[in-house]
A and B are shown apart, each in its own frame.
Chain A
């Protein structure tokens, strides 16, 4: 890679927030800060992996980015232009789509696979004749390795891996530049998972796609991502190049997360030491003062319960938010 040429940024998010109002008792409500001020950039044709524990806000971040949820706050820049007006939003939506986690429940059982894939074409008026629509559906099916003869079948007639291919074909229908992939392989068998991951990589190469790839399987994320962002309770606590973050995690949470992944190689497993955290993830309705991770952090000290640490560039292109890194 030549460093001389600045990479082109496709999407930039600044201080994105999603706060849900949760009713507690009569006429009272509490703020659930599902996503609380995250910022990141993704270069054209690259993949940003988003990892973190269940409930930390990954899905909400992805949905808010695509405006499937109205952001509480924050700015989104697409191709260098801020997305503000209705027209800009519509244009952004045609250029960005989503692949969902569960290939079993995310597809409408009463629709044929062809109609599922064709729905975004209908929504965005992307054809003039029926033949055009059909041709595009067939093209999309071939693109994801499905036989176009199966367009008239229903989703339940397909295996998990095939259903995920349908979901991907549907996401590709609008010819997007950006795809948010929300745990797209988590429900699949290891042997099938590899087929789908390869397909994501092939499509990226062929179509120049940019991915925000959400997953909790760190081995998968490491394989597919150029950069990785680690979330904890609605905030990004660390972000760096994929290999850098695995080799040199700076935040104690990232460190424990990486060490907790059981290695599928006996020799590596025998030689590695797990950092086992104690306690549970705090409720997002009741985020601890100071650093949100301090209640489980093996390295926490006085300051952690008082000051909120901010994400900063600790080393070139390596961001982390931890008081221990302030020298």
Chain B
């Protein structure tokens, strides 16, 4: 049994302009001590997936269907008491902006000690000791003094580390980190990633790392879920995703990162704009931006195809029958060569 098992999770926001299917049928599992990365376009549903697991969705959002099992126990539809004991003590979350989650009117110590007392069986004295220990652990000097300071008296990097200290102080089994370093400078980011990795190894904690930074994914994760328009378009190990991507969005994403100098030539962007979640295409959500789109891609969504025991993707390019049927769009002429390569399992070749 996995530590966390998410099955066909669907979460929607019921807005005045219609239903936004922010998470539209996502499944993944997380083993003890592993790091799972969630990467994808802005608005693809990464944060909503994280909030759904914690069940801290804001109005008008709610889980429509699916299952989230922690240690075999169902969290969807669970009572308040179960959820309260889960949050903080079994699963903790670090938000992107530390200012929104630290209360400006209380001292760091106050917030940290209260959280520890709430989630672990410690009295005030023990909780204070634990708080000092954690602040030291996240690399902040003078911990006793820090406890008396207010959030605004600390730098952004320090506040983020305090958040991490708070999330970790309760010794969760799973840490969900939603863009934990996006707002930070690379040198501070390196400090924090190093720290999270060390704690994960020492405490045997599992991490869900939400980020749009592919470098962060590579340096931290064992497995990766790539999201596009509310769906997991591809899932696999870091090497599978980065060296053998099987979804056209993943391929496009990897091609668009600058790797080296100007001399290496122009970047290869993904054309078009991100999807309008209120106006989703009928077929594959990525098809309007996809160079390789076939007729079927515009008509029908592709099911998830399991390619190896760890690698899966929902892209028609991997479905031999679709490629064989010459489902090529008439208005997107492709060469014989390219067509042949599509038939050979969708090997990617560069379009000039």
Contact = CB atoms under 8 A, between A and B. Distances in A.
A53 B242 contact: no
Contacts of A197: 258, 267
A277 B195 CA distance: 12
A194 B186 contact: no
B219 interface: yes
Contacts of A257: 186-187
B271 A195 contact: yes
A261 B215 contact: yes
Contact of A256 (B187, B212, B263): B187
B259 A278 contact: no
Most chain A CB neighbours (cut-off 10 Å) among B191, B266, B267: B267
A243 interface: yes
A84 to B, nearest CB: 35
Contacts, number: 133
Main secondary structure of the interface of A (DSSP, over half): helix
Interface residues of A, number: 45
Nearest to B273: A159
Given A262-B216, A265-B242, A269-B218, A190 B185 contact: no
Interface string B240-284: 001100000000111011111111101111110110000000000
Given A262-B219, A264-B257, A274-B194, A198 B266 contact: yes
Contact of A191 (B215, B216, B253): B253
Interface string A242-263: 1100100000000011011111
A189 B218 contact: no
B137 to A, nearest CB: 14
Interface stretch (A20-28, A67-75, A173-181, A214-222): A214-222
Contacts of A246: 261
Given A201-B266, A223-B267, A243 B261 contact: yes
Interface string B188-218: 1111011000000000000000001111111
B157 interface: yes
B258 A278 contact: no
A57 to B, nearest CB: 14
Contact of A276 (B42, B157, B191, B218): B191
B262 A224 contact: yes
B337 to A, nearest CB: 25
B58 interface: no
Contact of B218 (A53, A54, A161, A265): A265
A259 B194 CA distance: 13
B257 A190 contact: yes
Contact of B193 (A53, A262, A281): A262
- The interface size bin for chain B is 35 or more
A327 to B, nearest CB: 27
A162 interface: yes
B219 A190 contact: no
What 10 pairs across the A-B complex have the smallest Cβ distances? A262-B215, A194-B269, A223-B258, A194-B256, A191-B270, A260-B190, A264-B214, A194-B267, A195-B269, A53-B185
Interface of B: 41-42, 139, 155-158, 185-191, 193-194, 212-219, 238-239, 242-243, 252-254, 256-264, 266-271, 273-274
Given A243-B263, A262-B218, A269-B215, 20 more contacts: A53-B187, A160-B42, A191-B252, A191-B269, A191-B270, A192-B273, A194-B270, A219-B215, A219-B257, A219-B258, A222-B261, A225-B262, A242-B261, A257-B186, A259-B190, A260-B187, A263-B218, A263-B219, A265-B218, A269-B218
Interface of A: 53-54, 159-162, 189-195, 197-198, 201, 216, 218-220, 222-226, 242-243, 246, 256-257, 259-266, 269, 274, 276-278, 280-281
22 contacts: A161-B273, A191-B41, A191-B270, A193-B269, A194-B270, A195-B270, A197-B258, A218-B186, A223-B267, A224-B258, A224-B262, A226-B262, A256-B187, A260-B186, A262-B216, A264-B218, A269-B215, A276-B187, A276-B190, A276-B191, A280-B157, A280-B188
